[in-house]
Protein backbone atom coordinates (compact mmCIF):
# COMPACT_ATOMS: atom_id res chain seq x y z
CA UNK A 1 0.00 0.00 0.00
CA UNK A 2 1.16 3.53 -0.66
CA UNK A 3 0.37 6.19 1.88
CA UNK A 4 1.28 9.89 2.10
CA UNK A 5 4.30 10.62 4.24
CA UNK A 6 3.15 12.08 7.60
CA UNK A 7 6.41 13.96 8.20
CA UNK A 8 6.14 16.30 5.26
CA UNK A 9 3.85 16.40 2.25
CA UNK A 10 6.69 16.85 -0.23
CA UNK A 11 8.50 13.67 0.91
CA UNK A 12 8.00 10.45 -1.04
CA UNK A 13 5.06 8.26 -0.25
CA UNK A 14 5.49 5.47 2.30
CA UNK A 15 5.35 1.89 1.09
CA UNK A 16 3.55 -0.28 3.66
CA UNK A 17 3.58 -4.08 3.64
CA UNK A 18 1.61 -6.70 5.53
CA UNK A 19 3.54 -8.70 8.12
CA UNK A 20 2.74 -12.00 6.38
CA UNK A 21 4.22 -10.63 3.12
CA UNK A 22 7.43 -9.60 4.85
CA UNK A 23 7.76 -12.98 6.63
CA UNK A 24 7.13 -14.92 3.41
CA UNK A 25 9.87 -12.95 1.64
CA UNK A 26 12.38 -13.11 4.53
CA UNK A 27 11.94 -16.84 5.17
CA UNK A 28 11.75 -17.73 1.49
CA UNK A 29 14.66 -18.88 -0.68
CA UNK A 30 15.17 -15.34 -2.00
CA UNK A 31 16.50 -14.02 1.32
CA UNK A 32 17.48 -16.11 4.40
CA UNK A 33 15.59 -19.35 3.81
CA UNK A 34 14.31 -19.93 7.38
CA UNK A 35 14.12 -18.47 10.86
CA UNK A 36 17.46 -20.09 11.64
CA UNK A 37 19.05 -18.35 8.64
CA UNK A 38 17.64 -15.04 9.84
CA UNK A 39 19.10 -15.63 13.33
CA UNK A 40 22.51 -16.49 11.84
CA UNK A 41 22.43 -13.28 9.78
CA UNK A 42 21.51 -11.27 12.88
CA UNK A 43 24.46 -12.78 14.81
CA UNK A 44 26.82 -12.15 11.89
CA UNK A 45 25.81 -8.50 11.74
CA UNK A 46 26.21 -8.13 15.52
CA UNK A 47 29.74 -9.61 15.26
CA UNK A 48 30.66 -7.23 12.43
CA UNK A 49 29.29 -4.29 14.42
CA UNK A 50 31.30 -5.31 17.49
CA UNK A 51 34.47 -5.72 15.43
CA UNK A 52 34.01 -2.24 13.94
CA UNK A 53 33.56 -0.75 17.41
CA UNK A 54 36.70 -2.46 18.66
CA UNK A 55 38.69 -1.32 15.65
CA UNK A 56 37.47 2.26 16.06
CA UNK A 57 38.37 2.21 19.77
CA UNK A 58 41.88 0.88 19.07
CA UNK A 59 42.40 3.47 16.35
CA UNK A 60 41.35 6.26 18.75
CA UNK A 61 43.67 4.86 21.41
CA UNK A 62 46.55 4.72 18.94
CA UNK A 63 45.87 8.33 17.91
CA UNK A 64 45.75 9.45 21.55
CA UNK A 65 49.06 7.75 22.28
CA UNK A 66 50.60 9.38 19.22
CA UNK A 67 49.45 12.84 20.37
CA UNK A 68 50.60 12.44 23.97
CA UNK A 69 53.99 10.88 23.15
CA UNK A 70 55.37 14.22 21.91
CA UNK A 71 53.59 16.26 24.56
CA UNK A 72 55.88 18.31 26.85
CA UNK A 73 53.75 17.50 29.88
CA UNK A 74 54.09 13.76 29.17
CA UNK A 75 57.87 14.09 28.71
CA UNK A 76 58.18 15.78 32.11
CA UNK A 77 56.07 13.10 33.71
CA UNK A 78 58.19 10.35 32.15
CA UNK A 79 61.40 11.96 33.45
CA UNK A 80 59.96 12.28 36.97
CA UNK A 81 61.92 10.24 39.54
CA UNK A 82 60.00 7.62 41.51
CA UNK A 83 61.59 6.29 44.65
CA UNK A 84 62.27 2.56 44.76
CA UNK A 85 63.13 1.67 48.34
CA UNK A 86 65.05 -1.33 49.59
CA UNK A 87 65.47 -2.46 53.19
CA UNK A 88 68.78 -1.65 54.87
CA UNK A 89 70.31 -3.75 57.62
CA UNK A 90 71.24 -1.62 60.64
CA UNK A 91 74.98 -1.02 61.08
CA UNK A 92 76.81 -2.50 64.04
CA UNK A 93 76.97 0.89 65.81
CA UNK A 94 73.33 1.86 65.12
CA UNK A 95 70.49 -0.02 66.74
CA UNK A 96 67.04 0.64 65.29
CA UNK A 97 64.12 0.76 67.65
CA UNK A 98 61.99 -2.32 67.75
CA UNK A 99 59.42 -2.24 64.92
CA UNK A 100 61.18 0.54 62.95
CA UNK A 101 62.95 -0.30 59.72
CA UNK A 102 65.20 1.94 57.59
CA UNK A 103 64.77 2.02 53.81
CA UNK A 104 66.97 3.72 51.19
CA UNK A 105 66.02 4.67 47.61
CA UNK A 106 68.09 2.78 45.03
CA UNK A 107 68.35 5.78 42.70
CA UNK A 108 68.87 8.90 44.80
CA UNK A 109 69.74 7.61 48.28
CA UNK A 110 66.72 9.12 50.04
CA UNK A 111 66.34 7.54 53.52
CA UNK A 112 63.09 6.90 55.36
CA UNK A 113 62.13 5.00 58.46
CA UNK A 114 59.12 2.74 58.28
CA UNK A 115 57.21 1.30 61.19
CA UNK A 116 56.77 -2.46 60.84
CA UNK A 117 53.74 -4.06 62.43
Can you give the pLDDT at residue 2?
A: 92
Q: Per residue in 11-29, pLDDT tens?
A: 999 999 999 999 999 998 9
Domain ranges of the chain: 2-80, 83-117
Can you give the pLDDT at residue 97?
A: 63
Q: Which residues pair with 102 in a beta bridge?
A: 88, 113
Category of 100 on φ-ψ map: left (φ > 0), alpha (ψ -120 to 50) or beta = beta
CB 38 within 8 A of CB 23: no
Q: What is the CA radius of gyration of the chain?
A: 35
CA angle at 90 for the pair 84 and 95, rounded to the nearest 5°: 135
The residue-averaged pLDDT of 85-109 equals 74
Query: What mean pLDDT, rounded, does the chain reach?
Result: 85
Amino acid sequence: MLKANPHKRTYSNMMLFLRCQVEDYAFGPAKWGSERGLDEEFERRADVKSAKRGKKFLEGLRELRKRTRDNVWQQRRDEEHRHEYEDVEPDGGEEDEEGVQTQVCKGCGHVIQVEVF
